C-alpha cells in the first residue's frame, strides 16, 4: 500500500496550505534527529519531509490527490493528462534536512525558533535563538500649547502587519494607540509603545516612538516652563506708565500695572502664571511680558520743543 501523505502529517484531505505548513512545522521540530533520539524518529522525519514536499506543491498535490502515490511516482499516461504526454515521474530527493532548511530558512534553522519569546526545548537540548529587534519607528505628535497646558487624550490609528495564527502568513490590521498627554510636557518628549511595529516570523517587532512637536501659538512663546508675551505700547505709555491685559491659557484676564519706565531691556515677570511643571503640575513657571515700543513717525516743531522741555532734567 502506498504512503498516505495526509496521514503522515496528521491532517485531513481538505487541509489548506496554511494547515499543511503548520502541521509540518510542528512534527518536523518534534522528530528532528537533533532533538529526538528515539528509535524510528529519523525515518519519521524523512517521511515528513517527503509528505511536505508533495503536499506543499500544487501540481504534485493535485496529481497525488487524483492518482495516488502510484500515479505520482509512476507518471500519468496521456489519456489521463491534458498535455497528450506522460507526466514526469516524481522522486523525492531523499534529503529531509534540505526540506527542513528550505522551510525554516538558513543553514541553522534552530536559531529562529521561539515561542512567546522563550527558547524551545527538545528533551534535554535547549535551542538558543539570537533574535534581533527591528529599529524603532519615530512619528511626530503635533500638540497645541493649550493641549500641553491642560493635558488631553489623543487616539492615533496605526496600520501594521501582524502574523496570522498559522505562524507563516501575515495580514495588515489597524490598531488604536491611546496617548494620555500630561500637563507640562515639553517639545521633544518621547512616548514609546513597545513592540507595536510590523510582526515577522523571525524578528521582534519594532517599538513605535511618538515625539511631541509643539504648535505655534498666536499670543505666547514658550521657553521651558515660562510663557513669553509681547505687548505693543506707545512711547508715551513707556514713559508715563500703563496697565497690560493678558488673557491666560485657562481663560482668566490678568491686569498688570506697569509703573516703571519701559526701556529696551525691560521685562515684567508675573510669578506662577506660566506652564505647569510636568513633574509637579501644581507648580507653574512664570509669565514674562516683553514690550515693543512704537515710536512716532513724525513730530511737529512745537511737539519736539515740548518733549525737549519735558526731558530736560535740572539739578
pLDDT for residue 106: 54
pLDDT for residue 101: 82
| Two domains, one topology: 5-126 and 220-311 | no
pLDDT for residue 235: 87
Closest CA to 177 of 135, 139, 214, 136: 139
pLDDT for residue 119: 46
What mean pLDDT comes out for the span 88-101?
A: 84
CA distances from 49 to 5, 19, 120, 276 (A): 10, 15, 21, 66
Cell numbers for 234, please give them. 506707545
- State the distance between the two ends of the chain, measured CA to CA, in whole angstroms: 127
CA distances from 40 to 1, 10, 120, 126, 201 (A): 20, 17, 22, 22, 30
Instruction: Give the residue extent of every domain in the chain.
Output: 5-126, 137-214, 220-311
CA dist., res. 267 & res. 258, Å (int):
10
For 234-250, write each residue's pLDDT tens digit: 888 888 889 999 999 99
- What value does the mean pLDDT of the chain take? 83
Whether 125 shows a pLDDT value over 80: the answer reads no
CATH of domain 5-126: 1.10.287.110
Whether 269 shows a pLDDT value over 90: the answer reads yes
CA dist., res. 288 & res. 285, Å (int):
10
For domain 220-311, the CATH architecture is Sandwich (2.60)
CA distances from 58 to 16, 62, 64, 65 (A): 11, 6, 10, 10
Whether 142 shows a pLDDT value over 90: the answer reads yes
Q: Residue 276: exposed, middle, or buried by beta-carbon count in 10 A (0-12, 13-18, 19+)?
A: buried
What mean pLDDT comes out for the span 247-258?
A: 93
Q: pLDDT-based confidence at 127, cuts 50/70/90?
A: very low
For 59-80, write each residue's pLDDT tens digit: 888 888 888 888 788 776 554 5
Of 60-64, 168-172, 289-293, the one with minimum mean pLDDT is 168-172
Tell me if 125 sits within 8 A of 35, measured CB to CB: yes
Instruction: Please enumerate in sequence order all residues whose Cβ is within 8 A of that of 85, keeping only pairs 6 or more positions apart, or say none.
Output: 78
Whether 85 shows a pLDDT value over 80: the answer reads no
Is domain 137-214 in CATH 2.60.260.20, yes or no? yes
Amino acid at each position: 500500500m502506498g504512503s498516505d501523505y495526509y496521514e503522515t502529517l496528521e491532517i485531513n484531505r481538505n487541509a489548506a496550505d496554511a494547515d499543511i505548513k503548520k502541521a509540518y512545522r510542528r512534527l518536523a521540530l518534534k522528530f528532528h534527529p537533533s532533538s529526538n533520539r528515539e528509535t524510528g524518529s529519523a525515518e519519521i522525519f524523512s517521511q515528513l519531509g517527503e509528505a511536505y514536499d508533495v503536499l506543499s506543491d500544487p501540481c504534485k498535490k493535485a496529481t497525488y490527490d487524483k492518482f495516488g502515490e502510484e500515479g505520482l511516482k509512476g507518471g500519468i499516461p496521456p489519456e489521463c493528462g491534458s498535455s497528450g504526454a506522460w507526466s514526469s515521474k516524481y522522486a523525492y530527493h531523499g534529503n529531509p534536512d534540505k526540506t527542513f532548511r528550505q522551510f525554516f530558512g538558513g543553514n541553522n534553522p534552530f536559531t529562529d525558533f521561539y515561542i512567546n519569546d522563550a527558547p524551545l526545548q527538545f528533551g534535554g537540548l535547549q535551542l538558543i535563538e539570537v533574535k534581533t529587534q527591528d529599529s524603532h519607528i519615530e512619528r511626530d505628535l503635533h500638540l497645541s500649547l493649550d493641549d500641553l497646558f491642560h493635558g488631553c487624550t489623543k487616539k492615533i490609528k496605526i496600520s501594521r502587519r501582524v502574523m496570522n495564527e498559522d505562524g507563516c502568513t501575515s495580514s495588515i490590521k489597524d490598531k488604536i494607540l491611546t496617548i494620555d498627554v500630561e500637563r507640562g510636557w515639553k517639545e521633544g518628549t518621547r512616548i514609546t509603545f513597545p513592540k507595536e511595529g510590523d510582526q515577522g516570523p523571525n524578528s521582534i517587532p519594532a517599538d513605535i516612538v511618538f515625539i511631541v512637536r509643539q504648535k505655534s501659538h498666536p499670543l505666547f512663546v514658550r521657553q521651558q516652563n515660562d510663557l513669553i508675551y509681547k505687548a505693543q505700547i506707545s512711547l508715551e505709555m513707556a514713559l508715563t506708565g500703563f496697565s497690560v491685559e493678558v488673557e491666560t491659557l485657562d481663560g482668566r484676564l490678568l491686569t498688570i500695572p506697569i509703573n516703571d519706565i519701559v526701556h529696551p531691556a525691560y521685562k515684567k515677570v508675573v510669578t506662577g502664571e506660566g506652564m505647569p511643571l510636568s513633574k509637579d503640575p501644581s507648580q507653574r513657571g512664570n509669565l514674562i511680558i516683553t514690550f515693543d515700543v512704537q515710536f512716532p513717525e513724525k513730530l511737529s516743531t512745537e511737539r519736539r520743543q515740548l518733549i525737549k522741555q519735558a526731558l530736560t532734567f535740572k539739578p
